[in-house]
C-alpha cells in the first residue's frame, strides 16, 4: 500500500466493489459446500454437491448463470462499505500517534497486526455480520433441499426479518464473524507488508527498493497473504456459515455448532469448501490491494 494514501475510504470502497463482481460466484460455491454438514436439517447425502465443479454446473443447469450470484446483491451492497471500513480504520490507526509509537517500538509488523485486528473487528460487527447473514440464508435457500423462497434481496431481507427478527435474522454468527475477520485482517495486512518488503528488496529490481510495487507484485503479495489467512481461518468460517444458515436455531452457540459439526463429520467437516475459498480469497485480496493502490494514487493525483 502507499505509505500515505490520501483517500483510503473512497479507494477501499471502489476496490471492494470491483473485486466482488469478479469473485462472488466462487464465494457462492464455497458457501454451498460449507453448509453441507451432517448436523444441518437440510442435509441430504443423496443430493449433496460432490465438488466445486458439481455445485457450479448443477446451479447453472437449474438456475442459469445468475444462479451463481444468488446472495450476491447483499455482498455487492456491502462490498464498498466493508472495504472502506477496513482500509479507513486501518490507515487511521496506522498513522495515529499510538500506531506510530507501536511501530517505532515493536516494528511495522506488530503495528499492522494490531491495526488489522481492530479494523477487522469493526468491519465484522458493523458490516460483515448483517450482510453475510442475509447472503448465507439466500445461498442456503437455493441449496438442493432449500425451500427456494427468496425472490430478491429486498424480499429475502423482509422475509428474514418477519421469520427470525433482527437478532436471529441479521446478527446471528457475530462472534465467529468477528474472530474470523479480525484474524484474517491481521494476517493479510501484516503478511502483505512482509511480502511487499521482500519483493522490493529483490536484487536488480527495476527502480530499486524505493520504487512502488508493480500491479503484478501487489497482486502476488496480496494474494499469498489472503490465501494464508483463508487456510488458518477456515474452521471459523465454516462455523460462521452454519450459524447464519436457515437452520441456525439448531445451534445454541458457536461452541455448540462446532461440536455438532465435529460429531457429524469429524475435523474434515471444518474444512468444507477450503479449495474454492483459498482460490477466491487469493484473487479477492490480491485484487483489493492492487485496486486500492491504483485508485489511491489516481485520487492523490487528481484530487490532491
Question: Is residue 47 a part of any domain in this protein?
Answer: yes
Three-state helix/strand/coil letters over the chain: CCCCCCCHHHHHHHHHHHHHHHHHHHHHHHHHHHCCCCCCCCCCHHHCCCCHHHHHHHHHHHHCHHHHHCCHHHHHHHHHHHHHHHHHHHHHHHCCHHHHHHHHHHCHHHHHHHHHHHHHHHHHHHHHHHHHHHHHHHHHHCCCCCCCCCCCHHHHHHHHHHHHHHHHHHHCCHHHHHHHHHHHHHHHHHHHHHHHHHHHCCCCCCCCCCCCCCHHHHHHHHHHHHHHHHHHHHHHHHHHHHHCCCCHHHCCCHHHHHHHHHHHHCHHHHHCCHHHHHHHHHHHHHHHHHHHHHHHHHHHHHHC
Which pLDDT belongs to residue 3? Answer: 46
Q: What is the pLDDT of residues 19-76, one digit of tens each?
A: 888 899 999 999 999 999 999 989 999 999 999 999 999 999 999 999 999 999 999 8
Which pLDDT belongs to residue 195? Answer: 96
Question: Is residue 73 a part of any domain in this protein?
Answer: yes
Q: What's the burial of 144, exposed, middle or buried (CB within 10 Å: 0-12/13-18/19+)? A: middle
Q: What's the burial of 149, exposed, middle or buried (CB within 10 Å: 0-12/13-18/19+)? A: middle
* Model confidence band, residue 7 (pLDDT cutoffs 50, 70, 90): low
Number of compact structural domains in the chain: 1
Which pLDDT belongs to residue 232? Answer: 98
pLDDT, mean of residues 152-180: 96
Range of the domain at 288: 8-303
Confidence check: pLDDT of 241 > 90: yes
| Mean pLDDT across the chain | 91
Which pLDDT belongs to residue 222? Answer: 96
Which pLDDT belongs to residue 226? Answer: 97
* Model confidence band, residue 11 (pLDDT cutoffs 50, 70, 90): confident
Question: Is residue 121 a part of any domain in this protein?
Answer: yes
Confidence check: pLDDT of 303 > 60: no
Sign of CA dihedral 105, 184, 217, 21: negative
Which pLDDT belongs to residue 280? Answer: 94
Which pLDDT belongs to residue 6? Answer: 44
Q: What are phi and psi of 160, to 5 degrees?
A: -65, -40
CA distance 206 to 199: 11
Question: Is residue 155 a part of any domain in this protein?
Answer: yes
Confidence check: pLDDT of 82 > 50: yes
pLDDT, mean of residues 71-100: 88
Q: What residue has cell string 451432517?
A: 38
* Model confidence band, residue 17 (pLDDT cutoffs 50, 70, 90): confident
CA distance 136 to 263: 22
Question: Is residue 144 a part of any domain in this protein?
Answer: yes
Which pLDDT belongs to residue 295? Answer: 75
Q: Helix 153-166 to helix 129-141 angle, to the nearest 10 degrees?
A: 110
Which pLDDT belongs to residue 300? Answer: 67
Q: What is the largest CA-CA distance in the chain?
A: 62
Question: Is residue 1 a part of any domain in this protein?
Answer: no
Decide: 12 and 87 in contact? Cβ < 8 Å. yes
pLDDT, mean of residues 235-251: 96
Confidence check: pLDDT of 212 > 90: no
For residue 282, give the nearest of 30, 9, 7 by alpha carbon.
Answer: 30
Question: Is residue 2 a part of any domain in this protein?
Answer: no
Q: What CATH number did the domain enclosing 84 receive?
A: 1.50.40.10
Confidence check: pLDDT of 270 > 80: yes
Which pLDDT belongs to residue 73? Answer: 94
For residue 297, give the nearest of 213, 185, 194, 225 by alpha carbon.
Answer: 213
Q: What is the pLDDT of residues 93-148, one digit of tens each?
A: 998 998 899 899 988 889 999 999 999 999 999 999 999 999 999 999 999 999 99
Least confidently predicted of 41-50, 184-193, 199-208: 199-208
Cell of 258: 462446532
Confidence check: pLDDT of 1 > 60: no
CA distance 257 to 251: 5
What count of other Cβ atoms lies within 10 Å of the Cβ of residue 110?
13
In angstroms, what CA-CA distances link 94 with 5, 101, 200, 203?
A: 11, 10, 21, 29
What end-to-end distance do the CA atoms of the chain give, in Å? 18
Cell of 171: 446478527
Question: Is residue 135 a part of any domain in this protein?
Answer: yes
Q: Helix 97-106 to helix 72-94 angle, to the nearest 10 degrees?
A: 70
pLDDT, mean of residues 168-178: 96
Amino acid at each position: 500500500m502507499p505509505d500515505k494514501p490520501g483517500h483510503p475510504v473512497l479507494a477501499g470502497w471502489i476496490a471492494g466493489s470491483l473485486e466482488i463482481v469478479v469473485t462472488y460466484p466462487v464465494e457462492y460455491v464455497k458457501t454451498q459446500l460449507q453448509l453441507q454438514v451432517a448436523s444441518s436439517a437440510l442435509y441430504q447425502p443423496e443430493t449433496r454437491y460432490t465438488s466445486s465443479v458439481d455445485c457450479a454446473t448443477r446451479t447453472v443447469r437449474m438456475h442459469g448463470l445468475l444462479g451463481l450470484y444468488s446472495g450476491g446483491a447483499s455482498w455487492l451492497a456491502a462490498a464498498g462499505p466493508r472495504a472502506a471500513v477496513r482500509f479507513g480504520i486501518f490507515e487511521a490507526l496506522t498513522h495515529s500517534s499510538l500506531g506510530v509509537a507501536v511501530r517505532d517500538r515493536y516494528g511495522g509488523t506488530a503495528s499492522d497486526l494490531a491495526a488489522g485486528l481492530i479494523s477487522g473487528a469493526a468491519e465484522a460487527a458493523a458490516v460483515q455480520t448483517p450482510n453475510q447473514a442475509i447472503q448465507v440464508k439466500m445461498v442456503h435457500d437455493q441449496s438442493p433441499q432449500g425451500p427456494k423462497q427468496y425472490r430478491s434481496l429486498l424480499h429475502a431481507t423482509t422475509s428474514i426479518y418477519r421469520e427470525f427478527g433482527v437478532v436471529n435474522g441479521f446478527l446471528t454468527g457475530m462472534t465467529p464473524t468477528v474472530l474470523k475477520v479480525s484474524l484474517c485482517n491481521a494476517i493479510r495486512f501484516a503478511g502483505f507488508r512482509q511480502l511487499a518488503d521482500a519483493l522490493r528488496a529483490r536484487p536488480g529490481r527495476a527502480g530499486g527498493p524505493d520504487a512502488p510495487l508493480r500491479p503484478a507484485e501487489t497482486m502476488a503479495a496480496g494474494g499469498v497473504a489472503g490465501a494464508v489467512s483463508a487456510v488458518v481461518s477456515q474452521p471459523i468460517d465454516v462455523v460462521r456459515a452454519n450459524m447464519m444458515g436457515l437452520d441456525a436455531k439448531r445451534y445454541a452457540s458457536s461452541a455448540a455448532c462446532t461440536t455438532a459439526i465435529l460429531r457429524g463429520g469429524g475435523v474434515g467437516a471444518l474444512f468444507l469448501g477450503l479449495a474454492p475459498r483459498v482460490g477466491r480469497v487469493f484473487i479477492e485480496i490480491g485484487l483489493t490491494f492492487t485496486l486500492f493502490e491504483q485508485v489511491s494514487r489516481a485520487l492523490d493525483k487528481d484530487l490532491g
